[in-house]
Chain A
Amino acid sequence: MTTARAKAPPPLADERLLFLLRELLRIRRFEEKAAELYSLGKIRGFLHLYIGEEACAVGAMQALTEDDRIVATYRDHGHALARGLPPGALMAEMFGKANGCSRGRGGSMHFFDVGRRFYGGYAIVGGGLPVAVGLALADKLQGNPFVTACFFGDGAVVEGEFHESMNLAALWRLPLLFLYENNLYAMGTAIERSQAQLDMELRARGYGVPAEAVDGMDVLAVEDATRRAVEAIRGGGGPHLLELKTYRFRAHSLADPDLYRTKDEVEDWRQRDPIDLFVARHGIGEAAVAEADAAVAAELEAAVAEAEAGEWEPLEDLERDVHTPVGP
């Protein structure tokens, strides 16, 4: 078993800036491609895009080791890509192909890669939280130095499981990082219309869980806050919560006519586009951006080709994996 260690924040050399830019761009372009393929009917079911929220997943993932465990939501493309799941396996999953990351059984909302300790996209809002509590409990019982990072949104924080999980994680001092992606809307319901108390630091304090609000449009701010929280958790500090204040630029899903918020509001948030902000703040030149974009485009072209080339799961395997096969 490998030993988890806190990664020191590498200096912001050009190479690292370009790496982060590419991480952000990969998600942005992947989502744009997914939307296009959805309109062509290649991808079906629900499609929830992460556009606008890229800095949350990319920033948080920089501060986690490959031994740490990730639990995501149904809006899981960004989490999966930032975790390093191959874009081809994700695209194939959305095509419903057997070479998809969940053999075409899960689709967009249920990406899994247990080898990369990516324990899945959960599509019952709040439903991943108890599982994350259990993963963290197992690590505590086994004496592992790992952290479980659980993403969830503002819809989840009014579910009973959020309350239960915060209480239980704090009661048992579990190595669990609550990553609250607050994009202000649970589908079409604004947080003001669903949360009696909007101050998450205050709510978290009620459970004895240290919390911090972070600009979720600033990838380095997210990384920095995550690094500090993870260090505290690994040091035995129990669960921590980060509220990543963010916004989805696209509708809830491609089935959503987006009638519940104003165009001005969306436009205001687009002025804080996490990729544009990053590029501007670090003075990354146009040529470098174009180069990164081209590299990502090539990756995605290959990913789509991989999805197209994938086989369909044979019908005789319909019932495969309902149960674990019994050994000889």
Chain B
Amino acid sequence: MTTTYREAVRAGLREALQGDERVFLMGEDVGRYGGAFAVSLGLLEEFGPERVRDTPLSESTFVGAGIGAAIAGMRPIVEVMTINFSLLALDQVVNNAAALRYMSGGQMSVPLVVRMATGGGRQLAAQHAHSLEVWYAHVPGIKAVAPATVADARGMLLAALQEADPVFIFEHATLYPLEGELEDGDLPLGRAAVRRPGTDVTLVTYGGSLPKTLEAAGQLAAEGVEAEVLDLRSLRPLDMDAVLESVAKTHRIVVVDEGWRTGSLAAEVGMQVAERGFDLLDWPPQRVCSAEVPMPYAKHLEDAALPSAERIVWAVREMLA
């Protein structure tokens, strides 16, 4: 069935709310407003205000409340409006959600799902448009995933709800209107997926950079270069076996990551390839990341700051020159 990414997330939420009475959704404007990105539109009417719960603008406390409710037997899904706002709750994430199980010697689990929009490309400037997933992926005790397709948008949410530990889902805001095929069935977290097979170079990416990377692969194909596009899907844990399997075939890797270059997920993937697959490489690992600036507003500046199909193609051409 063809639908949008936005509707796929909503379908996942609806299934979760229908299937498990412990599940409830809370966050800013998820109820009466219908969600800042209209993801939860209609769910308040369907499930009522107890289970589709509007919160005040208190990120730290409603994320922390999700932790407490999860400990006490509920299955909360917390929506944070954007990843930049989620920084207000990072204390609860790092010091509590990720640490409580370990710090208590294994006495409790925190089965919490937190969803948030991430990424740039909509001229929202320096406080609404960053791609900070790597900060979450840095933290032991949580899982971090970034669905890039319509099927994953639904499937990974439902898979996250099967997890016993906190899962953070990063939904790139430019993906919400994209159309694709909705699929039934379960989806294991933690596995990368080949989105386009190829033999000449491995393009590793995730989330909102997938469409750009596929576009770049299309352009490269016209030049006779067959790029393999690997969608990480899970940012913690990383499916490095899948990355290395592809590199073993192509011997070249470019990581496309909308995060800032320094300390990026791309840096982690590249380092792990160097550690585990140095002999596989015919060329140093490369990355296409965001420019190291707070996101600018003006369109031409924002475009220049973000990874683009063009920049991905350039990076590959240089390797194959």
Contact = CB atoms under 8 A, between A and B. Distances in A.
B164 A324 contact: yes
B69 A323 contact: no
Interface in A312-327: 320-324, 326
B71 A127 contact: no
Interface stretch (A158-166, A220-228, A243-251, A265-273): A158-166
A66 to B, nearest CB: 15
A138 B91 CA distance: 21
A132 B24 contact: no
A134 interface: yes
B136 interface: no
A117 to B, nearest CB: 10
Interface string A134-158: 1111110110000000000000000
A142 B75 CA distance: 12
Given A130-B68, A324-B164, A110 B104 contact: yes
Contact of B24 (A113, A141, A168): A141
A160 B57 CA distance: 12
B24 to A, nearest CB: 7
Nearest to B109: A324
A102 B69 CA distance: 21
B105 interface: yes
B101 A324 contact: yes
Contacts of A69: 72
Contacts of B159: none
B53 to A, nearest CB: 8
Nearest to A114: B107
A322 B50 CA distance: 32
Interface residues on A, range: 35 or more
B102 interface: yes
A131 B104 contact: no
Interface string B77-101: 0000000000000011001100011
Contacts of B56: 164, 167-168, 171
B12 interface: no
B107 A324 contact: no
B108 A114 contact: yes
A106 B103 contact: yes
Contacts of A110: 103-104
Contact of A124 (B67, B72, B91): B91
B68 A141 contact: no
Interface of B: 24, 50, 55-56, 58, 60-74, 76, 91-92, 95-96, 100-109, 140-141, 164-165
Given A134-B64, A168-B61, 11 more contacts: A102-B107, A105-B104, A112-B104, A129-B64, A131-B64, A131-B92, A133-B61, A138-B73, A141-B74, A322-B140, A324-B109
Chain A to chain B: the 9 pairs with minimum beta-carbon distance, closest first: A134-B68, A130-B64, A103-B105, A138-B72, A324-B164, A164-B61, A321-B106, A112-B104, A134-B65
